Structure 1
Amino acid sequence: MDLSFLFTMHEGLPRQGPGSNECTRKAFSMLKDLPERPEILDIGCGSGMQTIELARICPDCHITAVDIHQPYLDDLARKAAAAGVGDRITTVRASMDDLPFEDASFDVLWAESSIFIVGFEEGLLSWKRLLRPGGSLCLTEAVWFTDRPSPEAVAFWNDCYPAIKQATETAAIAENAGYEVFATFRLPGSVWWDNYYMPLQKRLPDLKKEAAGNPDAEAHVAFSEREIEVYREHGSEYGYAFFVLRRR
C-alpha cells in the first residue's frame, strides 16, 4: 500500500500520535544522572511538539530530531525557530530502522508514538547501540489496560498492531533486551483527543474528497475513521504507557 497519503493526512497537525507536553515533562523529570549538556535523539519526531518541549525543559541539551517525512521536519524547524530553541535542534531525514549515527552517540533516546513502526523489541535492540553507557530510552507504547478486551478492540489491534501487550509484559521485554525499567506510567485518555484525534477528525471530510478515486488514500481515511470510532467506544481498554528505561 502507498503510504504517501498517510503522511499527507497528518501534515500540519499538532502531533502525529497520542501524547502531550505534560506527559513529556513528567517522563523527562524521571531521568537521573544526566550530563551537563545531554545529547538527545528524538526518533520518529513528526512535527516535533515533544522535541520543542524537551528543548524548553532542558536548556543545555542538544536534540537531533529524526523523521522520514521531510515536511514534518520543515514544520518542526519553523516551530522551533519561533519558540527560540531552533539553535539547539538539528533535523535529520532518516528511517528509524536505519539510523545514520555512530555507536554511543547519545545520552537519551526519545520515541513518542513511534517505536511501533519498527516493533517494540526490534526498536529496543537496534537502537541500544546508540546509547552511551547508562543512557536512557524514553518511549511510549500501546498497551492493554484490561486482560479481557472486547472483540471489537481486539479485531482493531489485530489489524494494525497485533504485538500490543499488557504493560507488565512490555516491561519484561525491555528487561530482556538489556534495559532497567526505571519508571512507567499510563497516559490519560485526553492525549488521544486534544492534539491528535480532534484535529484529524476536523480534517477528515476534506481528506475524503481528496482521496476519492485513489484506493490507497481511501483506505487510509477509512482506517482513521474506524480508529477514532473504536477508541471512542473502547478507549478504556487500551492506550499508551510511557516507559523510562536505562541501558544496563
Structure 2
Amino acid sequence: MVESPIFEIFDGLPRQGPGSNECTEKAFNMLSSLPAGVKILDIGCGVGMQTIHLAKICNDCHITATDVYQPFLNKLMENAVKEGVDDRITTVCASMDELPFEAEEFDVIWAEGSIFILGLEKGISYWKQFLRNGGYMAVTENTWFTDEPSPEVLQFWQEIYPGIMNIPDTEKVITATGYDIIDHFKLPVSVWYDFYSNLEKRVDDISDNYKGNTEAEMILEFNRKEIKLFRERPDEYGYVFYIFQKNK
C-alpha cells in the first residue's frame, strides 16, 4: 500500500492537505476545561505541521501522532526536534481504522484533512472509543457551500467522495453519533490556494519520473483536475473545521 506513487507526491509538501497554523490554533482555542497533561491523538497526521503547532501552543500536553506512512512520521519528528517540541510528541505508524490504543485513552482527537479516507460517520464512530467522556474531537471535513453545485463539481465529488454534505447535514451526523457540537468554521480559500500551489509544483516536478506508469499518470492527472476545478469554483465547496464533544 505504501508504495503507491501518491505518497511520493505528498511527501514533498509542507502539508498533506489544506490548512494553516492559524486555523489549527483557532480550533484548539475552542476547547475548554482541558485537564492537566492533556493527551491528544492526531490521526492521519502526515508530516505533522498541525501536530507541531499544537505542541507549541499547548505547553502541558502530549500528542500521539499516527499515520500509515512511516517516512511522514520520520519527517514530523525531524521537524519537531528543530522546533524543540519533540519531547511532547510520540509517533505511531498505524492505519486510522486499526488503531492500537486503549479505550478512553485521549482527551482530544484531532484529524485535519484525513477523515475523508474513512468517511465522516465511520471515522467519528470508530474513533469515539478512544476518547474519554467529555473529550473533544476536531476534524476538517469536505463540505458543500451551495445547494446547487455546478454539474462538473457535482460529478467530481460523486466520484471521489459521495458522502460530502452541507454544514447542517454534517452536524446532524455528528450529533446522531453521540457528540455535542461546540462550533464550526470554514477554512479560508487562501489555504486551498497555498496547498494547491505547492501540490501543482510537486506534480510538475515529478511527472517525468512516472512516464509510462499508468497508475501514477492517472493520479497526477487527477490532481491537476482537482486543482483546476477548485480554482474555477472555490465558492461551491471546501473544508469546514468541526469541533465537538463526546456526550455518551
Please report the TM-score for the alignment, with normalisation by the length of structure 2. Answer: 0.98
AA aligned to 1:92 is: V
| Inter-partner Cα distance in structure 1 for 2:126 and 2:139 | 14
Using the TM superposition, give the Cα deviation of residue 206 of structure 1 relative to its aligned residue in structure 2, in angstroms.
2.4
Structure 2 partner of 1:14: 14
| 8 Å CA contact retained: 1:207, 1:221 | no
| Inter-partner Cα distance in structure 1 for 2:222 and 2:2 | 14
SS of residue paired to 2:244? strand
Q: Work out the percentage of aligned pairs sharing the same amino acid.
A: 53
| 8 Å CA contact retained: 1:12, 1:47 | no
SS of residue paired to 2:121? helix
AA aligned to 1:6 is: I
Structure 1 partner of 2:164: 164
| 8 Å CA contact retained: 2:12, 2:202 | no
The farther-off stretch of 197-206 and 5-14 is 197-206
| Inter-partner Cα distance in structure 2 for 1:53 and 1:2 | 26
| Inter-partner Cα distance in structure 2 for 1:243 and 1:2 | 29
The farther-off stretch of 225-234 and 204-213 is 204-213
Structure 1 partner of 2:213: 214
Structure 2: stretches of 5+ with no match in the other structure: none
1:13-48, CA deviations, whole angstroms, 9 ceiling, x for partnerless residues?
A: 111011110000000000011001100000000000
SS of residue paired to 1:142? strand
2:71 aligned with 1:58: no
SS of residue paired to 1:65? strand
Using the TM superposition, give the Cα deviation of residue 56 of structure 1 relative to its aligned residue in structure 2, in angstroms.
0.5
Structure 2 partner of 1:186: 186
Structure 1: stretches of 5+ with no match in the other structure: none
AA aligned to 1:183 is: D
The farther-off stretch of 12-21 and 170-179 is 12-21
Using the TM superposition, give the Cα deviation of residue 12 of structure 1 relative to its aligned residue in structure 2, in angstroms.
2.6
Structure 2 partner of 1:70: 70
Point out 4+ residue stretches in structure 1 off by more than 2 angstroms: none
Using the TM superposition, give the Cα deviation of residue 207 of structure 1 relative to its aligned residue in structure 2, in angstroms.
2.0
AA aligned to 1:52 is: I
How many pairs does the alignment contain? 247
1:107-154, CA deviations, whole angstroms, 9 ceiling, x for partnerless residues?
A: 000000000001100001000000011000000000000111000110
1:45-104, CA deviations, whole angstroms, 9 ceiling, x for partnerless residues?
A: 000000000000001100000000111101100000000000110010000000110101
Structure 1 partner of 2:202: 203
Structure 2 partner of 1:229: 228
| Inter-partner Cα distance in structure 2 for 1:177 and 1:118 | 15
| Inter-partner Cα distance in structure 1 for 2:132 and 2:2 | 37
Structure 2 partner of 1:242: 241
Using the TM superposition, give the Cα deviation of residue 2 of structure 1 relative to its aligned residue in structure 2, in angstroms.
8.5
Judging changes above 3 Å, is the alpha-carbon distance between structure 1 residues 129 and 5 closer, same or farther for their aligned structure 2 residues? same
Structure 1 partner of 2:109: 109
Please report the TM-score for the alignment, with normalisation by the length of structure 1. Answer: 0.98
SS of residue paired to 2:141? strand
Matches within 5 A, 1:99-178: 99-178=99-178
Judging changes above 3 Å, is the alpha-carbon distance between structure 1 residues 134 and 2 closer, same or farther for their aligned structure 2 residues? closer
SS of residue paired to 2:42? strand
SS of residue paired to 1:191? helix
Judging changes above 3 Å, is the alpha-carbon distance between structure 1 residues 2 and 24 closer, same or farther for their aligned structure 2 residues? closer
